[in-house]
Amino acid sequence: MTDELIIADRKFGSRLLVGTGKFSSSQVMAEAIAASGTEIVTVALRRVDIENENDDMLAAIDRDKFLLLPNTSGARDADEAVRLSKLARAATGINWVKLEVTPDPYYLLPDPIETLKAAEILVSEGFVVLPYINADPVLAKRLEDAGTATVMPLASPIGSNQGLKTRAAIEIIIEQANVPVVVDAGLGRPSHAADAMEMGADAVLVNTAIATAAESTKMAQAFKLAVEAGRTAFLSGPAAASPAASASSPLTGFLRDDK
């Protein structure tokens, strides 16, 4: 029995999604992505700098091997996010989008109201929407109702590497979700990723921790192993701890001589 990650109508063997930002060079990025075993990489959209034509960092990514998942980072409201999504779709023909609406430039925390608004519009226009949100269980259900393909709650703010600060809320989201839950943002160490997978997350998305490591390729490999370990642990069930013994039975003693 395979344990594939299924998002919308596609199956993936890897439960590690990788972001392409913050790498020191396109070569390092390409090697790290390969080492991670990922099948989905996120990219952003930016205006071309017409004064300086840069290297196209993404030329290094083999579009046949990886699903390029455009994000709408930079969008500060639903309209901007929708516009960016349509631009992205025009470029690739793929209708998948990571919906990211972050008006706050300090912590890059997602705006729940604009995210829900944008999700509803994008779903109605045929997009496969993967929304980035704070770990808000009710918002996650509202987005699911709106038809998003996943929910992507943050563990801690983007780039903070603080791990599962929102653990309790993510547990609730995982318990209640009918779509895959991808823990995204703030996973600073492979152990954080393993922890998220042990909790029952369907996948994780990692960028900063890999891109800014001293050796990105090794770190990518570590995350790959951590995600696999966490998932295997989740599937094998938890170990038993022994319950307290009790000598008397104040609550159930009445049943003893009973029929």
Partner 1 sequence: METLRINGKEKQFQDGLPATLAQLLEQLQIDDATVVAELDGKIIERAQFAHTSLSSGQAIELVRFVPGG
Partner 2 sequence: MIGPQLHSAFDIKVILAENRLDDGCEYWLGQIEKTKPADVERALSMPAGHYSFEKLLALVSPAATDYLEDMARQAHQLTIQRFGKTIKLYAPLYLSNYCINSCRYCGFNKDADTQRTRLTIEQALAEADILAAAGFADILLVSSEDTKFVTVDYLTELAGKLRGKFSSIAIEIYQMTAAQYAQLFKAGIEGVTLYQETYNRAAYSYYHPAGPKADYDDRLEAPDRQARAGMREIGLGALLGLTDWRIETLALAEHAHYLMKRYWKSHISFSFPRLRPAFEVRPEQFKHVVSNADLARMIIALRLCFADAGLILSTREGADLRDHLIKLGITKMSAGSKTNPGGYSRCSDAVEQFQVDDTRSPAQIAEMLKSAGLEPVWKDWDKAFIED
Contacts to partner 1 by CB under 8 A: 19-23, 29, 42-48, 50, 53, 56-59, 68, 70-71, 73, 86-88, 90-91, 158, 185, 205, 207-208
Residue 128's binding partner out of partner 2, partner 1, none, with CB under 5 to 8 Å set by partner kind = none
Q: Is 141 a catalytic residue?
A: no
Residue closer to partner 2 by CB (options 80, 171) is 171
Rounded distance, CA 252 to CA 259, Å?
13
Rounded distance, CA 78 to CA 84, Å?
10
Is residue 246 part of the contact set for partner 2 (CB under 8 A)?
yes
Rounded distance, CA 146 to CA 18, Å?
26
Residue closer to partner 1 by CB (options 31, 171) is 31
Rounded distance, CA 250 to CA 201, Å?
40
DSSP 8-state secondary structure symbol assigned to residue 151: B
Residue 113's binding partner out of partner 2, partner 1, none, with CB under 5 to 8 Å set by partner kind = none
DSSP 8-state secondary structure symbol assigned to residue 166: T
Rounded distance, CA 36 to CA 57, Å?
18
Q: Which listed range, 12-20, 86-94, 204-212, 251-259, lies at the site for partner 2 (CB under 8 A)? A: 251-259
Residue 238's binding partner out of partner 2, partner 1, none, with CB under 5 to 8 Å set by partner kind = partner 2
Residue 254's binding partner out of partner 1, partner 2, none, with CB under 5 to 8 Å set by partner kind = partner 2
Q: How far is CA 157 from CA 66, 92, 105, 108, 191, in A?
A: 26, 29, 11, 7, 17
Rounded distance, CA 112 to CA 168, Å?
19
Rounded distance, CA 118 to CA 23, Å?
29
Residue 21's binding partner out of partner 2, partner 1, none, with CB under 5 to 8 Å set by partner kind = partner 1
Is residue 257 part of the contact set for partner 2 (CB under 8 A)?
no
Residue closer to partner 1 by CB (options 43, 203) is 43
Residue closer to partner 1 by CB (options 14, 26) is 26
Is residue 244 part of the contact set for partner 2 (CB under 8 A)?
yes
Q: What is the per-residue binding string for partner 2 in 91-130, x denoting contact by CB under 8 A?
A: ----------------------------------------
Interface size with partner 2, residues (CB under 8 A): 26
Q: Quickly count: other Cβ atoms within 10 Å of residue 3's Cβ.
A: 11
Is residue 214 part of the contact set for partner 2 (CB under 8 A)?
no
Is residue 259 part of the contact set for partner 2 (CB under 8 A)?
yes
Q: In what order do the strands lie in the sheet containing 152-153?
A: 96-99, 128-133, 152-153
Residue 244's identity, in one-letter code, is: A
Q: How far is CA 121 from CA 82, 102, 116, 146, in A?
A: 7, 17, 9, 9
Binding site for partner 2 (CB under 8 A): 141, 175-176, 178, 235-246, 248-255, 258-259
Catalytic residues: 98
